[in-house]
Structure 1
Amino acid sequence: IMWDPVFASSLAGYASFACWVIVFAPQLFINYKRKNGDGLSMTFLVIWLAGDLFNLAGVVMQDLLVTMFILALWYTVADMGLIWQVVHYRKINKRLREEVVVDTDTDDLQTCGSREERMSTETDPLIEQTGSISRFIESLSIEEKEISTTVLNLVGGSSVILLILGSCYAYYSVHLKTPKDPEDGMPEQMLSVFPQILGWLSAILYVGSRIPQIIKNTKKKSTDGLSLGMFMCAVMGNVFFTLSIFLRSTDRHYLLINLPWIIGSSGTLVFDFMVCTYV
């Protein structure tokens, strides 16, 4: 049986993709079940998303493996979804807390009113007018919040669709222009400065993104709201991702081009294991 490095690399790449497809599912389910996303550090998520965007741009411009492009696109879309969920539940919980405060104030007013039923009825019209104005202002506030939520959902959904379409078009365009190796028909990769800068920025952000989450766990002395499944899948996804690069080729020039992505995936393993020990 002849060893096919392209097939082996693709197999490892799709195994990594399978891990990353489900990597956000456990955390999304926990957030949905708890109706709360505060178990995750927003700083961690924002840094992770920034790393995703740099990663995606670098992969497209450097014309790396198609599995790397699919993964980069999935990272970005899934992370945007997770951030949306955290923001969404924070807005809902804030609204619920405000409604509880309003209900409490209303009960207090009703209690005061019942104690002073014997007061002069000359002030009744003024009280009714004030109450009507308060209810009107409250209804306007609720409508504004609902509109704000709708706009947020529309902007988020449109951004995801534009990101997917734009990224696919850009990758396809770059891939067609890249000269092919006459031996195996694969693209001849050239070391480009700007994509490499994006790759290294992505690697730094990926590795650094875990630090806020570890700090948050240490301060809280708790991992409530975190999914062990999420980080275990992330570990396996990074392992297969790194393997997909090495299985494709061990040529020095090839590894040099892919070095930022190797560091970005393998470098996070240490921090992911640290997070897993807390969960």
Structure 2
Amino acid sequence: MQLPLNEAFSGIFGSISLASWIFLIVPQLWENFRNQSAEGLSSLFLIMWLLGDVCNLMGALWAHLLPTVIALGVYFCFVDFIMLAQLIYYNHYRSKKRYRILQNHQAPHAGPSLTDPLLPDAESSRAAKHPVSRRRDSLSEAFSNNGSAKVAIRNTISVILVLFVGTAGWFIAWKTGAWGPQGDIPDTEAPMGALVLGYASSFFYLTARFPQIYTNFKRQSCSGLSILFFILSTVGNLTYGASILSFSLEHNYLLKNTPWLLGSIGTLVQDFVIFGQFVYYGRLQANPRQGA
């Protein structure tokens, strides 16, 4: 059976979106692991993102949306829990453990040992005064003289690989029969409860990035954040919306999917605000005199 062109494009876009969200977590998890901290991430950002994903999944199941939309909803929730688990580990459990160790070493009765140097060297003094300054994040690397081209090439290759993996994944699914024609769109309205959940997810998506934008502004830095994380988020949101729109432009279908379109396309504006913060704060870190 020949697959209609609109369904093919919808499936390809949906598969690319799924690939984007699968790989999206990797650069941020690595950034947190490299820094041994998740202080760059706003916990409220992740919590609101999780609430949006839970509402998104429940609403998609209730409204019987496309399989790609439901599959993405399941994976969104999975990714959120991993990110939150890492944030809790680094920012709460590990930081408290480090604080207890520091307190034990700084106990009043504990004097310097025989092996301790009488005077701290210059390197350790600088590290004590500026403990975070030695940490190189993806932001400062991106705007350093040596790292800008390398980071740009790496991010471009990553996006191309995601596009390739998503397209190839859909093609394999189609050839093996895992993906089949969806048929005509039933001319029925989505249940009211599903629409309420859909609009609730859109609300959380559209407001989730504000805490992260504020956190960046308050810290005057995007250190600890992976720019590739937000690049793949943008690719995922664009193709997610494209998978819905390319399937059909029929009136009832669009009304049924409006909450999910708002949640994916609407967040792009905030993503570009964060990109602007990456550029501005990255240049300040690369050239500190500009901020003086």
The answer to whether TM tops 0.5 is: yes
| Cα deviation, residue 201, structure 1 | 0.4
Question: Offset of 1:97 from its aligned partner?
Answer: 1.4
In the alignment of these two chains, the number of paired residues is 207
Alignment CA distance shift 1:85-1:189 (3 Å): farther
The Cα of 1:210 is off from its aligned counterpart by 0.6
Conserved 8 A contact 1:62-1:189: no
Partner of 1:63: 64
User: How many angstroms apart in 2 are the aligned matches of 1:84 and 1:2?
Assistant: 41
Describe the superposition over 1:65-117 as per-residue Cα deviations: whole angstroms up to 9, x where unpaired: 00001111111110110000000112112211111111221xx32449xxxxx
User: TM-score, normalised to structure 1's length?
Assistant: 0.71
The whole-number CA distance in structure 2 between the counterparts of 1:242 and 1:110 is 61
Mean Cα deviation higher: 31-40 or 96-105: 96-105
Which residue does 1:48 correspond to in 2? 49
Q: Which consecutive unaligned segments of at least 5 residues does structure 2 have?
A: 113-181, 279-292
Note closer, same or farther for the CA distance 1:233–1:224 as it changes in structure 2 (3 Å cut): same
The AA in structure 1 aligned to 2:28 is: Q
Look up the match of 1:72.
Answer: 73
Aligned equivalent of 1:121:
none
Mark the structure with the bigger radius of gyration: 1
Give the equivalent residue in structure 2 for 1:199: 198
Which TM-score applies when normalising by structure 2?
0.68
Other-structure match for 1:82: 83
* Alignment deviations for residues 111-166 of structure 1 (CA, whole Å, 9 cap, x no partner): 49xxxxxxxxxxxxxxxxxxxxxxxxxxxxxxxxxxxxxxxxxxxxxxxxxxxxxx
**Cα deviation digits, residues 252-278 of structure 1 (max 9, x gap):** 000000000000000000000111111
Give the Å deviation of 1:40: 0.4
Cα pair 1:47 1:206 within 8 Å, conserved: yes
Which residue in 2 is equivalent to 1:109? 109
- Answer yes or no: is the 8 Å Cα contact 1:63–1:189 preserved in 2: no
User: 1:226 aligns to what SS in structure 2?
Assistant: coil
Q: Deviations over 1:162-213 (max 9, x none)?
A: xxxxxxxxxxxxxxxxxxxxx9266665321000000000001001001111
Whichever residue aligns with residue 76 of structure 1, its letter is C
User: Runs of 5+ in structure 1 lacking a partner?
Assistant: 113-182
Q: What is aligned with 1:96?
A: 98
Amino acid at match of 2:194: P
Partner of 1:212: 211
Task: Tell me, yes or no, if the aligned pair for 2:185 and 2:253 is still in contact at 8 Å.
Answer: no
Please give the root-mean-square deviation of Cα atoms over the aligned residues, in Å: 1.9
- For residues 28 and 186 of structure 2, what CA distance do their matches in structure 1 show? 37
